[in-house]
Structure 1
């Protein structure tokens, strides 16, 4: 593998790690990069998960180091998404490129519509953690796991929207849960892709180095950033990614 390919994937992974930790959608940068280097869509989708895993691990550890605590319910959200991701990953093994892009574009359009017209990400006031909301959350994360195992790109927006709507968590709490959830369900996705033999380890590890670095650094300083600026960042990246999909 050429050194330029390694440097390119590290740089793209670093940017994607920052984006994934603050909002979501970093895979909309890393997937095209992997395809540009000659990987088929399903192989690029599988290879991308190595970086996603390390980004989730290091960003979650970064939040922990800054005092954003993980509770039992947060782990159970990850467990239900883990189960869903098994199903989604098996679907992704044989996905065709055209179908992949169309589904991704449709999901991003819906997410952008929510971010523009829906209720803004809650600041942590009026948090709801009753039995009903927890059951709804667990069921929702099972389906998020299916999507995450299937495509991954844009899953951060789904998690942000779901936790904000269901529980009214703060954006920092949501991003910690997002990192943990992605970490947990990516384990099952990687298992399916490794079993299917469709991961390019050289390119995946180069990408993972950048993803992990971006996640670790961003998770540590993002706890000091005013939440309204993170909301603006989420809105901007969602709109930018949607435009990219339609005109690419």
Structure 2
């Protein structure tokens, strides 16, 4: 499809901002998916193109955290594997079933996440705190289920991973954010592979947006290491609540339209 240079420039700018926000708190798709739809791209291609560009952003942030020693990949091999398998299954199933049920549940999940960060007196675990799930259980239960969710739908995946790492894994916010980006990149790649097989991504546009998302995510990762909890906590709250309100509004609008 024909896309003007002005629209392409706008989409690259949106992807840059989305990559910056996504590296810190998740929710970048809240900006990029509506922007792609507003540009006249069909929904299926918009979702696939968004996965293409967001994969570069999550890779950029993951690489930055790994190189700075915030996260090591070797201990995360099992969570990565479980997340990949879960996302692959979700991406395959979503092509054959309706997502109405999960769409109605997502706002509740996002409100719960934002409430946890908002009302928790302290989200910095005590050194003596023990994880509430073993590493193996976390990999299968959280990696597999959240990976499935990202492949199936996706809104708020980064926020869900972060709160799981904090509440169940007892990681600090910076460590939780770093691990989140590794698993988010994993689920993005798994879902993208299925979209590629289906021939859905718009490659030229997706790769241009990926450039912006890559550098935006790199900058966001730097801000995380510089400001840590001061930035992440309010951003997770804002992005989770914004996504929840947006989805509730869309569902309400569709319900009203169905009445006439």
The answer to whether the superposition gives a TM-score over 0.5 is yes
| Matched ranges for 1:52-131 at <5 A | 52-93=54-95, 102=104, 104-117=106-119, 121-123=123-125, 125-126=127-128, 128=130
Secondary structure of residue in 2 paired with 1:93: coil
Task: Indicate conservation of the 8 Å contact 1:41/1:97, yes or no.
Answer: no
2:42 and 2:96 map into 1 onto residues whose CA distance is 11
1:55-92: CA deviation from partner (whole Å, max 9, x where unpaired): 11111111123331314232321111000011111133
1:119 CA displacement:
7.1
Instruction: Name which of 141, 149, 152 aligns with 1:150.
Output: 152
Distance 1:83 1:163, change over 3 A: same
Q: 1:47 to 1:94 in 2, by over 3 A?
A: farther
Separation of aligned partners in 2, 1:191 and 1:170: 32
**Gaps spanning 5+ residues in structure 1: where?**
none
Partner of residue 199, structure 1: 201
SS of equivalent residue, structure 1 residue 128: coil
C-alpha contact 2:117 2:233 (8 A) present in aligned 1:
no
CA offset at residue 103 of structure 1? Answer: 5.4
Task: Select 1:174's aligned residue among 176, 184, 195.
Answer: 176
- The answer as to 2:223 corresponding to 1:232 is no
Q: Secondary structure at the match of 2:40?
A: coil
Scaled by the length of structure 1, the TM-score of the pair is 0.88
RMSD value, Cα? 2.5
TM-score normalized with structure 2 length: 0.84
Partner of 1:134: 135
CA distance in 1, matches of 2:96, 2:205: 20
**Which residue in 1 is equivalent to 2:257?**
none
* Alignment partners' CA distance in 2, 1:124 and 1:214: 32
Aligned residues of 1:42 and 1:97 also touching (Cα < 8 A): no
**Cα pair distance change 1:95/1:122, threshold 3 Å:** farther
Offset at residue 117 of structure 1 (A) = 4.6
Question: What residue in structure 2 maps to residue 39 of structure 1?
Answer: 41
Query: Which of these two proteins has the greater Rg computed from alpha carbons?
Result: 2
Which consecutive unaligned segments of at least 5 residues does structure 2 have?
251-260
Task: Identify if the C-alpha distance between structure 1 residues 33 and 126 changes in structure 2 by more than 3 Å, giving closer, same or farther.
Answer: farther
Structure 2 CA distance for aligned equivalents of residues 98 and 83 of structure 1: 23
